[in-house]
Structure 1
Amino acid sequence: MKIIQSPAEMQSVAQAQRREGKTIGFVPTMGFLHEGHLSLMHSARARCDVLVASIFVNPTQFGPNEDLDAYPRDFERDEKLCREAGVDFLFYPTPENMYLDGHSIWVDEESLSGVLCGTSRPGHFRGVCTVVAKLLHIALPDFMVLGEKDAQQLRVLRRMVRDLNFPVEIVSGPTIREPDGLAKSSRNKYLRPEERAEAVCLFQGLEKAKELYSAGEREANVLKNSICEIIRKTSGSIDYVEIVDDETLKPVQTLNKPVLVALAVRFPGARLIDNAVLGK
């Protein structure tokens, strides 16, 4: 595995691989890797000639009061895990390399990004879209693998790739969970033991919604109330519990086509998200 920090060098390497007719798979991450990230790398490795992964804690997707400086980092551990996962090129740029002095161009999605996490994290998806657009131009992949845990991000980036005609296939990988159901996340390490025990409420709420849906319930408010009831028994505060159209992310009242059930809950140690799709 080769570690590359320069965007120009990474792009040159990718161009050389493509000239040789090789298929490039790409997994973008912010590091502090866990089994969820590794599952995406294994999925990509199985279907490409060259696997590129990136580790970049993107400053432009963090708000003024968010955890950029405290975001967990462990490059030596991440490097080892990438090698074991079969990564060929690990792109590890600095913020100064990715955002040159005077940077003034942004990619802003205006339909899917204004709801859910976009409401409480203004500017977040502008940062996400901009950095991923840059990474796609740098790594030049045939396909990119993204996790389904970040459901809104997955849909926003699919829309960006579609609307800006990126010649890239978006492949999704399932959410990887702890034995008790909590979705794997780099932010889980922020949780105190008592918060960690309570954090399973997100998964329990989704399971309750699935149970009600399987029993024939189709009213969104009934499902939402059942989820909120479970979360309110914990120290977590609800950022949002929403049931939205799986494609447009617009709220629905009655479930008569596929919907995304999306949750965000704030604990003193961390803000956690989770989701499930019903009706597919």
Structure 2
Amino acid sequence: MECLQSLAALRAWRCRQSRPVHFVPTMGALHDGHAQLIRRAARPLADAEPLVVVSVYVNPLQFGPAEDFERYPRSLEADQAVAAAAGAALFWAPSVAEMQPGGSEEITRLSPPASLQAVLCGRSRPGHFDGVATVVARLLALVRPQRLFLGEKDWQQLVILRRLVNDLGLPLVVESVATVREADGLACSSRNRYLTAAERRQALSLPQALAEARRRWLLEPRRPVHELVSGVQGQLQGAGLVVDYVELVWAHSLVPLPPAEPLPAGLILLAAAVHCGATRLIDHTLLMSRSPIVAIDGPAGAGKSTVTRAFARRLGLIYLDTGAMYRAVTWWVQRHGVAPDDPDAVGSLLADLDLQLSAGRDGEQLVRINGHDVTTAIRSPEVTAQVSLVAALGCVREALTAQQQAMGRRGGLVAEGRDIGTAVFPDAELKVFLTATTAERARRRALDLEQRGFAVPPLSELEHQIAERDRLDSSREVAPLRMAADAEELVTDGMTIASVIQALVDLFRQRVPEEVWPSP
């Protein structure tokens, strides 16, 4: 690990690098939480081996007049040892003069939206997040990383810096890492070293009160907001802590919840800040009414099944291939010699239908219909040619949508198909419209047919078939193929499977933090 202090040395180092650069900005006094950030930043992504830059800069712009800038812990040699052991390639510790060459009054400042600063720490620390945003933006401009790693413990800061990156159009991904806790449950913080032994025991009331509130919420999810807040406040005050705030807000927008209303569905942040002696501590818990759902839609041949299956394994989600369900019904219709566009005839076959999905040893989804294993048969060109006709029937979509929604009632799954985000799971945490050009989808279809042992038509014929399939899917009366208004479009031409999977993981993590759904 190299150790640098000047901007000139950093610029020279950065110009020599051809590998991706991942960045962990800190104020020093590194602890296990920082080490976890560095270890995560050092992991290979999409076949690339990154270089991790760790900065240590105690930023005067984010300290108020009565705050602890002068006594903030500084331990550069110990920090270097922690960073090196965790896998950093570069340790950069610039001076205040290097970061603010014209002084604090001359530096161009950034101010995040007032709505993100009017709650939680922003209300009691005016100007704090202006200072954070200003310096982090400068650090990012100097380091030029592909990824920025931040802890979920400082949740308001995470939300604000994600907004900064998005609003400025910075070409990087913000990746968050779950709060790391010490053995007794206290969230890792550089300020923990201020605590005496007695204060340390007293400070444990903070995570304990939040955990107790979460338990109460699980037992009674419709409990009013003010009851949860007052319960935490009472427990903290009973422990002798001075409460700065206890608040319930929407996790991503930080908008406060109405006090008299019960907690709504969605991702909610219950956060608190206290003074324990002279030390200010923050902590939070995240409340989510069910496990997350991911809806992946897109046209035929876009590669949804391949990447969705791998994405599900990567995040420990259940994989639901709804397209296989429609193919299985189509196979059943063909087996009975019924016209695929006859709603009455097809509807009569649904009455005694037993359609089961299960996972095979290699992760492939197995499909059985009325005792028949049709996993391979449903991928035949004959089924492909007629599945759009069967899927367009209202009786089929109604029956399979109800079954899919029943499967997703508890969440914790990723489903792919044509109408998942618009009809099946309109309240999914993440909706993605995965697509590719017709030519690219024809090329992939030819390769798939060849690998499965089927005859491969000319590419021009496959392109025509795919275009016709798109027309049928998009023009049907019931649940037509279209991108949901709140979906993310992902065009996969020129992308490797690994890079598509990583893009899906990044989109998922923008909406679902590790603290709610840890990666396996």
- TM-score relative to the length of structure 1: 0.96
- For residues 88 and 203 of structure 2, the distance between their equivalents in structure 1, rounded to whole angstroms, comes to 32
Stretch of structure 1 that moved more, 270-279 or 1-10:
1-10
Per the alignment, residue 283 of structure 2 pairs with 274
Are the aligned partners of 1:237 and 1:267 in contact in 2 as well (CA < 8 Å)?
yes
| Runs ≥4 residues deviating over 4 A | none
User: Does the residue aligned with 2:284 lie in a helix, a strand or coil?
Assistant: strand
Stretch of structure 1 that moved more, 104-113 or 116-125:
104-113
- For residues 278 and 196 of structure 2, the distance between their equivalents in structure 1, rounded to whole angstroms, comes to 7
- Deviation at residue 263 of structure 1 after TM alignment: 0.5
- For residues 190 and 109 of structure 2, the distance between their equivalents in structure 1, rounded to whole angstroms, comes to 26
- For residues 94 and 180 of structure 1, the distance between their equivalents in structure 2, rounded to whole angstroms, comes to 35
Per the alignment, residue 50 of structure 1 pairs with 51
Per the alignment, residue 132 of structure 1 pairs with 136
User: Does the residue aligned with 1:203 lie in a helix, a strand or coil?
Assistant: helix
- Deviation at residue 202 of structure 1 after TM alignment: 1.1
Residue correspondence of structure 1 range 1-280 to structure 2 within 5 A: 1-17=1-17, 20=18, 22-47=19-44, 48-102=49-103, 103-110=106-113, 111-218=115-222, 219-253=224-258, 254-256=262-264, 257-279=266-288
- For residues 50 and 267 of structure 2, the distance between their equivalents in structure 1, rounded to whole angstroms, comes to 35
Deviations 1:172-210 (A, max 9, x none): 111111222110111011112211101011111111111
Are the aligned partners of 1:15 and 1:140 in contact in 2 as well (CA < 8 Å)?
no
User: Does the residue aligned with 1:28 lie in a helix, a strand or coil?
Assistant: strand
- Deviation at residue 216 of structure 1 after TM alignment: 2.4
Stretch of structure 1 that moved more, 229-238 or 7-16:
7-16
User: Does the residue aligned with 1:13 lie in a helix, a strand or coil?
Assistant: helix
User: Does the residue aligned with 1:211 lie in a helix, a strand or coil?
Assistant: helix
- For residues 129 and 15 of structure 2, the distance between their equivalents in structure 1, rounded to whole angstroms, comes to 28
- Between structure 1 and structure 2, the one with the greater Rg is 2
- For residues 11 and 166 of structure 2, the distance between their equivalents in structure 1, rounded to whole angstroms, comes to 22
Letter in 2 for 1:109: P
Deviations 1:77-115 (A, max 9, x none): 111111111111111100000001252300110221222
Letter in 2 for 1:54: S
Are the aligned partners of 2:120 and 2:247 in contact in 1 as well (CA < 8 Å)?
yes
Are the aligned partners of 1:11 and 1:137 in contact in 2 as well (CA < 8 Å)?
no
Q: Which runs of 5+ in 2 are unaligned?
A: 289-515
Deviations 1:106-164 (A, max 9, x none): 01102212221111111100010011001101111000110011010000000000111
- For residues 32 and 55 of structure 1, the distance between their equivalents in structure 2, rounded to whole angstroms, comes to 9
Are the aligned partners of 1:208 and 1:226 in contact in 2 as well (CA < 8 Å)?
no
Are the aligned partners of 2:270 and 2:287 in contact in 1 as well (CA < 8 Å)?
yes
> What's the % identity of the aligned pairs?
41
Are the aligned partners of 1:27 and 1:144 in contact in 2 as well (CA < 8 Å)?
yes
Letter in 1 for 2:24: V
- For residues 64 and 269 of structure 1, the distance between their equivalents in structure 2, rounded to whole angstroms, comes to 15
Bigger fraction of residues in helix: 2
| CA RMSD of superposed structures (Å) | 1.2
Number of equivalenced pairs:
277
Deviations 1:207-265 (A, max 9, x none): 11110111123321111111112101122110000000111111113321211111000
- For residues 16 and 43 of structure 1, the distance between their equivalents in structure 2, rounded to whole angstroms, comes to 23
- For residues 119 and 172 of structure 2, the distance between their equivalents in structure 1, rounded to whole angstroms, comes to 25
- For residues 146 and 11 of structure 1, the distance between their equivalents in structure 2, rounded to whole angstroms, comes to 23
- TM-score relative to the length of structure 2: 0.52
- Deviation at residue 8 of structure 1 after TM alignment: 3.4
Question: Relative contact order: is structure 1 or structure 2 higher (C-alpha 8 Å, sep ≥ 6)?
Answer: 1
